Amino acid sequence: MTADPRLKLGMVGGGEGAFIGAVHRMAARIDDKWTLVAGAFSSDAARSRTFGQSLGLADDRCYGDWKAMAKAEAARPDGIDAVAIVTPNNLHHAPARAFLDAGIAVICDKPLTTNLVDALDLQDAVKRTGQPFVLTHNYSGYAMVRQARAMVADGALGNIRVVQAEYAQDWLARDLSGNKQADWRGDPERAGPGGALGDIASHAYHLSTFVTGLRADAIGAETSRFVPRRKLDDDVQIRLRWANGARGQLWASQVAVGAANGLRLRVYGDAASLEWAQEDPDLLRFTKLGEPPQILRRGGPHLSTAAAAATRIPAGHPEGYLEGFAQIYADAAELVRAHKEKRTADANTASLPGISDGVDGMRFIEAAVRSAASDGQWVSLNGGAH
């Protein structure tokens, strides 16, 4: 029998009723580079084993807890090549640290942790162990987002002046107490210090940095809790001072009635601009100063090699959320395989969000919380007032 060429994936979290766990499993399967072989899917050992068995996993690889899983998989000759951590935010740090220490690569949901101290600890663990670490900011996997990044890097926009990002949803526009997904996202013990801030503003901020190659120098934030008795923010308004002198704003809301998944980025340079919207992800609007707008289409001519590599089907056949997520897993497979084979990974892996993006994201979240607490005072992302 021919050996299975796919890498072996384990999962922590993502059990029954967990939306993002199912997304990770689908994304990992799309390009057929991973096979799920092990998991600790729930804090309840019996439920974890039952769920793992429902996925067709062997009984001895359906673990009652992630500590046992890390120890057992590290000892197996056929142990997992990477673990996907798809738990609520408060259960990112400890499992990630355990698997890194066990010599196993980590693919972790965002935000990286619930505080900067833990994020820096994971950064130290990655450096110490040398293991690959991928953070699933999945929107960076979209073909036309990678096209935008390539165009900015090539100077197509000139000097960046303004970066505007927004992420609007309405699913928390009313009290959803009792809803599993809403409950943990609104619990400071599990979600961390930010509600919409950590859940979706972190995506909008990362998308901005991914496309422009810039980092914010300072931010001024206002957070709101519009729904009564809500413990964490459900709307965030943030001003940004980018390190190159550019300016911008970021708005993230989960109470914007009529908005579904409105992630949008606009980047303005002194020579041209770009605009991309997640709900129409195959299109990128590009406008040169003094010329009519151009609409670039995924799969179309004259796109970058990065966009072509993230394209699976011909233009006109829509690709979207799952395919973008799958690109993260495809690139992660190459990164992990190259590490195991002691070779340089291909160029596409250079754009993978990793541990430094996770630390940067936690700096952003904590700075926004400090700014909001001081009535929008400018706060440096390196700490303190600006």
pLDDT one-digit tens code per residue, 275-293: 999 999 999 999 999 999 9
Q: Looking at the 3D structure of the chain, how many domains does it have?
A: 2
Q: Could you read off the pLDDT of 143-195 as tens digits, one per residue?
A: 999 999 999 999 999 999 999 999 999 999 999 999 999 999 999 999 999 99
Closest-CA residue to 216 (of 373, 385, 382, 384): 382
Is the pLDDT score of 237 beyond 70? yes
Same domain? For 167 and 99 the reply is no
Task: Tell me, yes or no, whether 140 lies in a domain.
Answer: no
* Averaged pLDDT of the chain: 96
Of 105, 131, 157, the one marking the end of a domain is: 131
Cα 166 to Cα 27: distance, rounded to the nearest angstrom: 25
Contact call for residues 85 and 12 (beta carbons, < 8 A): yes
Same domain? For 175 and 301 the reply is yes
Structural domain harbouring 43: 7-131
Task: Tell me, yes or no, whether 352 lies in a domain.
Answer: no
The structure's pTM equals 0.95
State the pLDDT at residue 383.
60
Same domain? For 113 and 251 the reply is no
Measured at the alpha carbon of residue 23, what is the angle toward residues 12 and 59, in degrees to the nearest 5? 40
Contact call for residues 381 and 217 (beta carbons, < 8 A): yes
Which of residues 4 and 375 earns the better pLDDT score? 375
Same domain? For 91 and 177 the reply is no
State the pLDDT at residue 1.
55
Tell me phi and psi for residue 50, to 5 degrees.
-60, -45
Same domain? For 209 and 104 the reply is no
State the pLDDT at residue 382.
79
